[in-house]
Structure 1
């Protein structure tokens, strides 16, 4: 009997729950009629065909024949095996006689894989610059016809500053191709698919789904050879892509390309896997770069010949630029800006009618200006707004930031309020010769845990404090004392630094230990 009663109660509970669910659904229909209709109906022209259960499948079916796998060879650093390693020790570890030196290993050729997508019916294919740079024996596996072998491809052109490249194949037939969509109109939260060939040939034609997580990201291009340059307007997505998937398309549910898969963020470094943070070059950027690569084999960009940086919160207050801007930290003597009234530590807040809130904003706006055009730059200087006209130049291949000629005797034994030990720079010091400067204050040591730790480095040269030029340790101390007497909570320091084979000038803010 007890079992029967339990069953009866169970039936009653199920009925009540069903009624409640039904009431809930009716409430949803009553209170959210527009949302329900929107979810039930696919956007016009969507490859889902009105059925969201097959939306991803339909898009994948359309896109996959238009995505290619890329293979080739390039020279890489030589491997050093264990016998070679021990062979260079002063005592023998193998059959070689004592003192014998191994020949210097030579670079070797290694195979690589990548992804791309067909841009036009006549065989132009888009991929990443880092996929095909310095490559040989380039071949492409097409997927529009089953059973075809990889065919040769040639590099039409590539652009390290956008990490985009165009290659071409002669397929002997018209190829299906993808079109660029509008990344500008794409919305955070909308569905996207990432397509490519991750890791190995066995994993070709992989499709993953996700959403657009953010827009307007900035990705450094230093590893591509474009030192100091960043790729702007990048799309962030949680659609999973991994090594070798670079160059494949990020498409919307119309099958249009919103981005070109470029890189992932991984806390474990280059060998790490995807953790849901991937970056794709926007179709807006691609739409400007790809046609130029096809027509001219290169990209023509506007250029000023300046070094810039973002403003910290302290710097916004100091320079009286509450909305941000791009701080001028370096002016190349050979650049167009050197022929204008632009000065170090000006803050650019507008170019023509386009507001500038960050260094990447200025980089993007200037690069899109045609060389030869004269543009108006609105800057903040000493708290006052000023307009400057500059004739835009053409960016050289090296990025156009040649060494600037800023400036740094007596040893300062005790650390100062910035946690630094400094001395006046003289022209016969190796640091002066290395930096190409003759005046300024040399950072001899940085106290661990001091105010400047992690900001300044040994052998940096300080050339100004709070916009006051300093050419000796005495002037440097005087500038710090003036800041302290004025009740400053931070100081703004202009420095010159050697970075690899380049000389860079920048500005930093430091909170002193008064």
Structure 2
């Protein structure tokens, strides 16, 4: 028998927000079939199986029901609608312009889950991908009420979103310290998989601190074998006390998200979700800081020269003047091997660690310098994002780091977040959502190095950008 190839693919959590009802219908209507097994020889008469006892030796059997009675009222279904314009000519821009009357408005609907975390203010946590691009969002409570939800803010890089509903007889869930979770702890997932209604599944914590999953942003996942299926996104992962330890967000499945769970589910830890929520509640956005260094991986050929026992760590290749790193005393040639006690294996894990820290964080870095251990303390600094502070020719444009999900797909560069109408940048042809891949100012990979590349402003500023599916050269005047 020829072995079958195995493909382990990440089921992007974005697929959880919406699903085809026909897939569920077909699955329910198609009966499972199996060949009957040969009957074994009868050794003795087998008695009828009795019902399970309610107690053993006078002790009641354990049940999750009392805890779930407290938890389930705080878990909601999230229904989002997005109006899209569909043309029979697909994405062909010429024919869409020539025959606009043939385009039709369609409503795309998706379904996910959410968790009430503040009953007084009506705050509901869910995943960013559940409500991304939605024009209308409603929430259905466990008691059957459906309430219109107001968007407060979201953070694509951690896949956390915050909504607000009318604070009328709501039940909020208690938040646990997710840092206290251990591998082997029992957990329960509550959500609305496949739209069948509120459903509870149980399992254990399989791992903590999971990262390096392709296609998703900054990561510090709880891994669990509790069943997480399409529609569970944004739902609750709770401990046996009924406290929220995570927000369910993704799973692995070789057949894609519609095939269901195979025991590899991932949840955003409560501590991370709570930190993001506080920023969204206060300003509607998440602000991130940087230490101010460029790093590279330590290779098999280099680690002994750095005085390391193994090829790991983030080797500092550049320290930006005036940055938090420069103030802390980091130097080119230093190797960062841990931060706040968390192991740093390579440049990606260092970037992931930075991205998960609040802007006012203080970091303790374990560094190897000339083969000797050294501890340094540093803060984070926020990079200015306005184009005028980078170069006058960029006046009117604002910039941001690329979404981390794109970086994990191999992209590097800078995202144009908005361009003021009539500004110098707009007159040169720069547009919102452009991705700047390269510039005549010099090499760069992110916003910090993009700014640093203008230390000596080029006489002629030309940007290479991605817009839609095409790449273009833009001369900034």
Q: Which TM bucket (shorter chain)?
A: 0.5 to 0.7
The residue that corresponds to 1:418 in the other structure is: none
Q: Residues 219, 116 of structure 1: CA spacing in aligned structure 2 closer, same or farther, 3 A cutoff?
A: farther
The CA RMSD over aligned residues, in Å, is: 4.5
Kindly indicate whether structure 1 or structure 2 has the higher relative contact order, using CA contacts under 8 Å at least 6 residues apart: 2
Match of 2:159 among 148, 159, 163: 163
Instruction: State the 1:230 CA deviation.
Output: 2.0
Instruction: State the 1:254 CA deviation.
Output: 1.4
Q: Residues 212, 306 of structure 1: CA spacing in aligned structure 2 closer, same or farther, 3 A cutoff?
A: same
The residue that corresponds to 2:25 in the other structure is: none
Greater radius of gyration (CA): 1
Deviates more, 1:182-191 or 1:335-344: 335-344
The residue that corresponds to 2:314 in the other structure is: 326
The residue that corresponds to 2:368 in the other structure is: 380
The residue that corresponds to 1:129 in the other structure is: 128
Instruction: State the 1:293 CA deviation.
Output: 2.4
Instruction: State the 1:152 CA deviation.
Output: 0.8
The residue that corresponds to 1:280 in the other structure is: 267
Q: Distance in 1 between matches of 2:151 and 2:135?
A: 10
Instruction: State the 1:196 CA deviation.
Output: 0.8
Please give the secondary structure, in 1, of the residue aligned with 2:118: coil
Deviates more, 1:207-216 or 1:308-317: 308-317
Q: Distance in 1 between matches of 2:363 and 2:177?
A: 28
2:139 equivalent to 1:140: yes
2:65 equivalent to 1:57: yes
Q: Distance in 1 between matches of 2:280 and 2:182?
A: 28
Per-residue displacement from partner, 1:119-139 (whole Å, max 9, x unpaired)?
122221111122123222111
Q: Unaligned stretches of 5+ in structure 2?
A: 1-41, 48-55, 386-398, 415-436, 444-463, 468-477
Q: Distance in 2 between matches of 1:294 and 1:438?
A: 38
The residue that corresponds to 2:192 in the other structure is: 197
Instruction: State the 1:284 CA deviation.
Output: 2.3
Q: Residues 306, 222 of structure 1: CA spacing in aligned structure 2 closer, same or farther, 3 A cutoff?
A: farther
The residue that corresponds to 1:119 in the other structure is: 117
Please give the secondary structure, in 1, of the residue aligned with 2:248: strand
Q: Given that residues 199 and 242 in structure 1 are in contact (C-alpha distance below 8 angstroms), is that contact kept between their aligned partners in structure 2?
A: yes
Instruction: State the 1:291 CA deviation.
Output: 2.8
The residue that corresponds to 2:252 in the other structure is: 265
The residue that corresponds to 1:256 in the other structure is: 243
The residue that corresponds to 2:223 in the other structure is: 236
Q: Given that residues 154 and 284 in structure 2 are in contact (C-alpha distance below 8 angstroms), is that contact kept between their aligned partners in structure 1?
A: yes
Please give the secondary structure, in 2, of the residue aligned with 1:119: strand
The residue that corresponds to 1:209 in the other structure is: 202
The residue that corresponds to 1:19 in the other structure is: none
Q: Distance in 2 between matches of 1:139 and 1:230?
A: 28
Deviates more, 1:295-304 or 1:237-246: 295-304
The residue that corresponds to 1:399 in the other structure is: 401
2:301 equivalent to 1:293: no
Instruction: State the 1:170 CA deviation.
Output: 0.7
Q: Given that residues 413 and 438 in structure 2 are in contact (C-alpha distance below 8 angstroms), is that contact kept between their aligned partners in structure 1?
A: no
Q: Given that residues 401 and 413 in structure 2 are in contact (C-alpha distance below 8 angstroms), is that contact kept between their aligned partners in structure 1?
A: no
Per-residue displacement from partner, 1:10-55 (whole Å, max 9, x unpaired)?
79xx9xxxxxxxxxxxxxxxxxxxxxxxx999xxxxxxxx8444x2
The residue that corresponds to 2:175 in the other structure is: 180
Instruction: State the 1:194 CA deviation.
Output: 0.9
Per-residue displacement from partner, 1:333-379 (whole Å, max 9, x unpaired)?
8965477764566421244x635433566446545666577766453
TM-score for both structures, normalised by structure 2: 0.60
Q: Given that residues 154 and 285 in structure 2 are in contact (C-alpha distance below 8 angstroms), is that contact kept between their aligned partners in structure 1?
A: yes
The alignment of Structure 1 onto Structure 2 pairs a total of residues equal to: 350
Instruction: State the 1:322 CA deviation.
Output: 2.7
Q: Given that residues 218 and 352 in structure 2 are in contact (C-alpha distance below 8 angstroms), is that contact kept between their aligned partners in structure 1?
A: no
Q: Given that residues 128 and 155 in structure 2 are in contact (C-alpha distance below 8 angstroms), is that contact kept between their aligned partners in structure 1?
A: yes
The residue that corresponds to 2:395 in the other structure is: none
Q: Given that residues 221 and 230 in structure 1 are in contact (C-alpha distance below 8 angstroms), is that contact kept between their aligned partners in structure 2?
A: no
Q: Unaligned stretches of 5+ in structure 1?
A: 1-6, 15-38, 42-49, 89-95, 224-228, 405-432, 440-497, 502-514
Q: Residues 134, 315 of structure 1: CA spacing in aligned structure 2 closer, same or farther, 3 A cutoff?
A: farther
Deviates more, 1:56-65 or 1:123-132: 56-65
Q: Residues 164, 356 of structure 1: CA spacing in aligned structure 2 closer, same or farther, 3 A cutoff?
A: same
Q: Residues 108, 61 of structure 1: CA spacing in aligned structure 2 closer, same or farther, 3 A cutoff?
A: same
Please give the secondary structure, in 2, of the residue aligned with 1:174: coil
Q: Distance in 1 between matches of 2:305 and 2:466?
A: 31
* Matches for 1:372-451 after TM superposition, within 5 Å: 377-381=365-369, 383=371, 392-394=380-382, 398-399=400-401, 434=438, 436=440
